[in-house]
A = this chain, B = another copy of it.
Amino acid sequence: MKKDINIKEVARKCGVSIATVSRVFNNSGPVKESTRKKIEKIIEETGYRPNVLARELAEKKTHLVGMIVHSMIGEGLPRTINGVNDVLQQHDFNLLISCSNGSFESEMKHFEIFRSKRVEGILFATREFKKEHSKIIKKLPIPVVVLLQKTSQEKIPYVAFDNYRFAKEATKRLFELGHSKFAFIGGPVNATNAIERQQGFVHALLESGLEVEEALIKNGDYTIEDGYWKMESLLSEKKELTAVVAVNDGMAIGAINCLQDHGVNVPDEISVLGLDDTVLAKALRLKLSGVHYSYTDLGKVGAEILLKQIESNELKFEKHLIPYTIHLRESVARVKPSDGRMIGNIFSPQ
């Protein structure tokens, strides 16, 4: 393996001091044209590249941002990373990534590791934001922005989707279409985003004067398979039902498959809405209704907030909510108020 050439070597070859070489490379001072030319030639020949480590040590800046994510499965986090990546590159920052695969220990460990690597800021995406996270973040002398979680009580900057709000709003849209018999297929009980959506759903019912039946709320694990089984379980409750709200696309698809296997027409007998809008939904024949939001934008905003704090050199609490749009498509139908029967499916374009 070739050895790296350093500034001293270049200086020696040119018969000048390292200071002059540094000035040439960084254009950081006056150099006579002839010596500049000579040095540039040697730099070209030797392929000299300054050791950024040494530079960073001297400058006390690493131009490094760390990002801790809990998963690489599904399109959400990868797209978020992509957004982060874009903004960081525009600002000549580099991205250090750690995927914890849901391990709390791994998350905590990487705050330490990233810190000792002297990253200038950290982006943090976890499934469940805990007190310990908050504690370690507050000890850090660098800015941290939490992604996809609200941390309002803790005064830690975050960028998130307004899960509670869009879940409530989307459910109310179904109510306005005449639905009054709702079921909910939720996510893991420790996934904050899933819980917020569930609360949004529940509050939509309450605010609409409907009762919330515990038996008609099932918690799943986000997968298509589990959506199927949870729908199966809902059907076995033998309750009247005109609408199923699922916490994500996968479970909505599983639910639809299950309903169809039971000879239930979607949406004429039961409407299905997913609180999500991923590429999965596109695979369905039936156009799935859902809520759309951009993970890429979320990543971009997160990175921008972080960079702002890095550059201004101050930690500041701020929060951003990324916009969403609700799309009712073929999987949702209107209910005729008088007798509870459907009167054909409605769907907005797009």
Contact = CB atoms under 8 A, between A and B. Distances in A.
Contacts of A142: 1
Contacts of A62: 53
A57 B49 contact: no
Given A2-B141, A57-B53, A141-B2, A95 B98 contact: yes
Contact of A1 (B85, B98, B117, B141): B141
A112 B50 CA distance: 11
B141 A52 contact: no
A84 to B, nearest CB: 9
B73 A85 contact: no
Nearest to A106: B89
Interface stretch (A237-245, A282-290, A320-328, A340-348): A282-290
A113 interface: yes
A260 interface: yes
**Number of identical monomers bound together in the oligomeric complex:** 2
A82 interface: yes
A51 B118 contact: yes
Contact of A4 (B54, B112, B141, B280): B141
Interface in A2-25: 2-4
Interface string A145-160: 0000000000000000
Interface in A217-234: 224-225
Contact of A78 (B78, B113, B141, B284): B78
Interface in A102-148: 106, 112-113, 115-118, 139, 141-142
A50 B116 contact: yes
A72 B295 CA distance: 12
A42 interface: no
A202 to B, nearest CB: 28
Given A4-B141, A72-B81, A257-B285, A53 B51 contact: no
Interface of A: 1-4, 47, 49-54, 56-57, 62, 72-73, 75, 77-79, 81-82, 85-86, 89, 94-99, 101, 106, 112-113, 115-118, 139, 141-142, 224-225, 250, 253, 257, 260, 279-280, 282-285, 313-315
12 contacts: A1-B141, A1-B313, A2-B141, A51-B116, A52-B117, A53-B62, A72-B78, A72-B82, A73-B79, A97-B97, A253-B283, A280-B283
